[in-house]
Amino acid sequence: MTELPYSEGLPKPGTDENHWAFQLFVTERSEAKQALAKMALEPEWEAKFEPNSYGFRPGRSSRDAIEAIHHTLRETGKFVLDADISKCFDKIDHL
């Protein structure tokens, strides 16, 4: 069981601490289940993702994405379009 220092959120000394210990147990158990699910699902999903997808992927960062963009532009001569479309939907009639 993980020991935590006394703080405002923990029970005061002399009170029933069993409730807090149970919460710690449930939390640790939940985290263990999440880790097992991640270990089971991650390899399958990683195989399905596009190789040029970088967001929220293990072992990939924004730096990797920027490097891939630079490499693509350098090697293939493609272009990147930067457009501000934030207000373009204001003029569309949604009725």
Helix (H, G, I), strand (E, B) or coil at 91: helix
Around Cβ 34, how many Cβ atoms within 10 Å? 10
- List pLDDT tens digits, range 13-51: 666 655 556 566 667 788 888 889 989 988 888 888 888
Nearest alpha-carbon partner for 24 in 39, 7, 10 = 10
- List pLDDT tens digits, range 52-95: 888 888 889 999 999 998 888 888 876 778 898 888 888 787 77
Higher pLDDT, 3 or 88: 88
For residue 40, what is the enclosing H or E element? helix 18-48
pTM of the model: 0.43
CB half-sphere exposure, 32, CA atoms < 13 A = 6
Domain range list for the chain = 18-89
